């Protein structure tokens, strides 16, 4: 197994086990979102097709819900703005 193959499997397992977004997986592993995405969509299907299918389902669910997360972040931002009178950046 090649290093990238092993990494793709570890990334896929993490995403499935934690119902993770690409962004949170990238932050956890300390690598870019594009590397995560390429590993789980290009490399992983050749290594473990079943895991790749599970990852695809999680990523599709996250994509369908992303407008909700964005709306929630905006709501929290403006609630803090009203409370403190200035815009502050929320840390993830």
For the chain, what is the mean pLDDT?
Answer: 85
* Mean per-residue pLDDT, 52-63: 93
pTM to 2 decimal places? 0.72
* Mean per-residue pLDDT, 63-87: 70
Tokens of 9: 């499997």
**CA–CA separation, 26 vs 74, rounded Å?**
22
Quote the pLDDT of residue 79.
Answer: 75
80 vs 39 pLDDT, higher one: 39
> Residue 61: is its pLDDT beyond 60?
yes
């Amino acid at each position: 197994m090649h290093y990238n193959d092993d990494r793709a499997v570890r990334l896929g397992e993490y995403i499935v086990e934690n119902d993770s977004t690409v962004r949170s997986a990238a932050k956890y592993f300390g690598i870019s979102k594009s590397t995560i995405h390429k590993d789980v969509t290009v490399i992983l299907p050749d290594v473990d097709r079943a895991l790749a299918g599970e990852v695809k389902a999680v990523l599709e669910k996250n994509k369908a819900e992303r407008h909700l997360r964005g709306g929630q972040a905006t709501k929290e931002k403006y609630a803090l703005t009203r409370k403190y009178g200035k815009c502050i950046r929320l840390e993830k």
